[in-house]
Structure 1
């Protein structure tokens, strides 16, 4: 057996933290992910500090908090020039590094330390704006899936063929081509091909990165059929939720709020769950291929998502907001061959964040962890060792008038909306679905004041000026980037 384990990072896009059947989800079925959890540790309080694609992936790739990677909102076309990344450190430590699927960096062909990338970022608007986008940055030149698809399905095939927008969280229809041509299957097909042509003298690090279950909600028909007649619960609705939609925002297929027609929303829920089960089955396909190539027994596997999907909770959709459906993610650290001696088939309730991925995998590889990394290795927790751990995490996201900061220790969650000063406090122990805002409940005033002080201290010295270190200051312009991080 080789001295260093192979490393497999499986990331999906926009998957809620509760969508695992091992967590007793009332509908979704994830047999292969359940088995991964049984062969390792399931972390039940994993969060995305900046819950949208670009900033979350910066944390994943660099191990930095948003204060240091500098991305506190969604902004495309900002160069990725980080000194240390997960693949660059592993490559320097003797690993053969490969990414298949989504990167969402800039420029799109930036290797970010990987030896090679086979790319599909999904539909990105800035890459599709023609003719203003330079050819070197256009979608046709920076996507590997679409040329592959056109060779098999016809030269006119495109990602727009179904008429679904890439952010349409409220509409759905089945995939129209053979399942083998779906982007989810393509990621696994290309990943299996990497097993064939990898350097056998080196351990490998493979990032297998799926675009789904991010919209478009287009599962193959067989998977959609699994959920169309299922008893799908309605989204949770907090007492504080907006229950009127006088401007009819909910009729917009790419809405982030509003009252969506029930039949449309239910079909979107079914398709979202179907995409997750489709990914699960394809992960099962890859695990079988790993067994055939005799690498499953010496590979450490980490599964997670960059952020969640509100899917109608509190009449909200998509991501960027700090509620559980958006900010909490699935997180499994699996060790099928027992190389790391994890406490298998266990759960852990410590609060962790996407920035912990890089130090965890570097620790598993015996590679050095750069000083730039803010996250911490999860291996001591996964081995059941007594270890000091963070008390809480701070998250945030620019979101216009809903720009927000949050802090949570897994027991309570404090939310502050930076433009209005509005506060929310949820007792996650008794109210895990965030149905009741207790910020004005007299019994919670001491907790509220404590969280407010902690956030003020966390934001002290930041360029936005929304804290003087002692108090929070509302109304300062929200930013998508911290300029100080890019100087």
Structure 2
């Protein structure tokens, strides 16, 4: 493809799984090293208030694929094995517009080999429990049958499996180094397969490539060289708010699968080091791909968007993993880069407006000059990223984001404008309120502060309106109603 600004650009979407918003050197993290992502942000635009409205893998990816809010794509919690049937998907729209479309890595859809509009998928979803149970699923859906990385790995190392390290995919506080040559790590594999796509693509078409990494989601298994980068680092302890649990009588923190609890300090520090190491490993592999993209003469023709599907609490407030509304779980990195300067972005700009997973599809279609379907709820972020010097002001943006996650007694709804955050736990009625501008680490729950009562009432009224008419019955239009049965999937897609 020639460097022709009148031709449609290639589109490269890079996603990682479970990366916190603050794990970028350019965002001021005191330890983690991300030189290639820093360069994408330095020469592009970084969105500092990006969120995942329903912060676990399945609903977040539904938002990416469809551009819809959780109310419309219907996945308001984590539930596997619910068929994905959407009329309009991001890869489908690119394919209809003449793009050669490819995904490498994680999809996390059902059935697992559902193309979702891609011409081809080279699949590695990571370890998914429902795909490993040979006695409860059809053989055609078993992991051994559907996962391309595992087939490839066993060609390199006969008998190899994803469990060889003794780490589960939800071992949130247990870490050890990758035991095989680095080139066999799934992070390297995603990049190697993506490079191979550059070789095999149709040269007469622009491409849409989704390079989708499973890490830094556990297992926490970085190659030794990356773990060594952090073994002596001065890693700050996670923040613990005045509202967080202060003791752990059930010893939940000793479980390798814990989502809450007080973890022994040495174990937690090692887990944090491994988590940062996985991020730096991904960063270097992204650099590897961008170098090859330049060698193929396509970097200047490619618009790049980098993000994560959700975050990782990693000990914040003695909490781990995701699904909760706190910043470590719900807030993500989000970078747009345009090496060919097609889009008129303001280099180095940091945007404060609240953006979300649903905005990815319209943004990338907009960058390619492809029509956005009416089914899409999100908006293109390109106007926010544009160089506005001497031009009209940025158009009005969403005033707030409504997020939620169904998860038993921890089921929650939340609202934020990036400056304040209101949280309502739907099963207990507990409210939390954080002044993010002054308290970015959510150390103080201001829900009972006299000075904040009017603001809490304001946000509560918005949530009452957002939930009115929802099938769970959380709102009657005048008040919030706690204790209603939470749903993970709304009825319009449950079938």
TM interval, short-chain normalised: over 0.9
Q: Distance in 1 between matches of 2:139 and 2:86?
A: 25
Query: Which one of the candidate residues 374, 380, 400 is aligned to 2:408?
Result: 400
Q: Which residue of 2 aligns with 1:311?
A: 314
CA RMSD of aligned residues (A): 0.8
Please state how far the C-alpha of 1:135 moved relative to its aligned partner: 1.2
Which residue number in structure 2 is paired with residue 465 of structure 1? 473
- Measure, in 2, the Cα distance between the counterparts of 1:364 and 1:400: 40
Question: Partner residue of 1:330?
Answer: 333
Distance in 2, Cα, partners of 1:445 & 1:439: 7
Partner of 2:332, secondary structure, is coil
Q: Distance in 1 between matches of 2:445 and 2:396?
A: 31
**Aligned residue number for residue 280 of structure 1:** 283
State the 1:90 CA deviation. Answer: 0.6
Q: Deviations over 1:11-66 (max 9, x none)?
A: 00000001000011011000000000112110000000000000000000100000
Residue 192 in structure 1 maps to residue 200 in structure 2: no
Match of 1:130 in 2: 134
Q: How does 1:85-234 map to 2 (within 5 A)?
A: 85-153=89-157, 155-234=158-237
Q: Secondary structure at the match of 1:59?
A: helix
CA distance in 2, matches of 1:34, 1:469: 45
Aligned residue for 2:443? 435
Instruction: Tell me which residue corresponds to 1:80.
Output: 84
Tell me the TM-score normalised to structure 1 length. 0.99
Q: Secondary structure at the match of 1:4?
A: coil
Please state if 1:268 is matched with 2:271: yes
Q: CA deviation at 1:244?
A: 0.9
Deviation at 1:344, TM superposition (A): 1.1
Q: Is the contact between residue 68 and residue 485 of structure 1 (CA under 8 Å) also seen in structure 2?
A: no
How far the C-alpha of 1:321 sits from its partner, in A, is 0.2
Unpaired runs of 5+ residues, structure 2, are: none
| Whole-angstrom distance in 1 between the partners of 2:302 and 2:493 | 35
TM-score normalised over the length of structure 2: 0.97
Q: CA deviation at 1:345?
A: 1.0
CA distance in 1, matches of 2:136, 2:439: 49
Question: Which residue of structure 1 lines up, in the alignment, with residue 73 of structure 2?
Answer: 69
Aligned mate of 1:416, from 421, 424, 431: 424
| Aligned counterpart for 1:300 among listed residues 300, 303, 323 | 303
Shift of 1:243: 1.1
Residue 408 of structure 1: how far off its partner (Å): 0.1
Structure 1 residue 473, shift from structure 2 partner:
0.5
Instruction: After TM superposition, give the deviation of residue 486 of structure 1 in Å.
Output: 4.7
Residue 309 of structure 2 contacts residue 357 of structure 2 at CA under 8 Å; is this kept in 1? yes
Residues 18 and 330, structure 1, Cα contact 8 Å, conserved in 2: yes
SS at match of 2:212: strand
Deviation track 1:352-386 (CA, whole Å, cap 9, x = no partner) reads 10100000000011111001100000111111452
User: Does residue 1:240 correspond to 2:243, yes or no?
Assistant: yes
Q: Is residue 387 from structure 1 mapped to residue 395 from structure 2 by the alignment? A: yes
Contact 1:54 1:75 in 2 (8 A): yes
Give the secondary structure class of the aligned counterpart of 1:301.
strand
Equivalent residues of 2:40, 2:337 under 8 A apart: yes
Q: Contact (CA 8 Å) 2:11, 2:302: kept in 1 or not?
A: yes
In structure 2, distance between residues paired with 1:209 and 1:317: 22
Question: Secondary structure of the residue that 2:472 maps to in structure 1?
Answer: coil
Structure 1 distance, partners of 2:437, 2:50, is: 16
Residue-by-residue CA offset, 1:122-176 (whole Å, 9 max, x unaligned): 00001100233211101011100011111112x2100000000101110100000
Describe the superposition over 1:179-206 as per-residue Cα deviations: whole angstroms up to 9, x where unpaired.
0000000000000000001000000000
Mind listing any 5+ residue stretches in structure 1 that lack a counterpart? none
- 2:226 aligns to what SS in structure 1? helix
Residue aligning to 1:347: 350
Cα distance in 1 for partners of 2:111, 2:208 equals 22
Q: What secondary structure, in the 3-state scheme, does the structure 2 residue paired with 1:54 have?
A: helix
Shift of 1:485: 4.4
Partner of 2:58: 54
